[in-house]
Amino acid sequence: MGHTHLPGVLSDKIGVMRVRAGHRYMINVGSVGQPRDGDPRASFGIFDPVSFEFELIRTPYNVDRSVNRIREEGLPSGLGKRLEKGN
């Protein structure tokens, strides 16, 4: 599931979690750009189908460079501000 830009798992467990085969989960890995949770780092997830582990990962990236590129392309300034603030 996606497009909310808000990372989360219905279980509210943070970090590495083990999912159980035969059960359904709703996992939102967040956003690599345009975050909405106050954290400007890129957010993504890794699922291992062998161990059934899921890990939500946050990693920094060059936000200033992205903001400058948004300005150079003439995109709305709010997009750059959102990247800087993470919301």
Asked whether the predicted pLDDT for residue 13 surpasses 60, the reply is: no
Give domain limits for the chain.
Answer: 8-85
Classify residue 3 as exposed, middle or buried by CB count within 10 Å of its CB (0-12, 13-18, 19+). Answer: exposed
Q: Are 32 and 66 in contact (CB under 8 A)?
A: no
69 or 1: which carries more pLDDT confidence?
69
pLDDT tens-digit profile of 27-77?
A: 778 888 777 888 888 888 888 888 888 888 889 989 999 999 999 999 998
Task: Report pLDDT for 3.
Answer: 61
Provide the pLDDT for residue 28. 78
Is the pTM higher than 0.95? The answer reads no
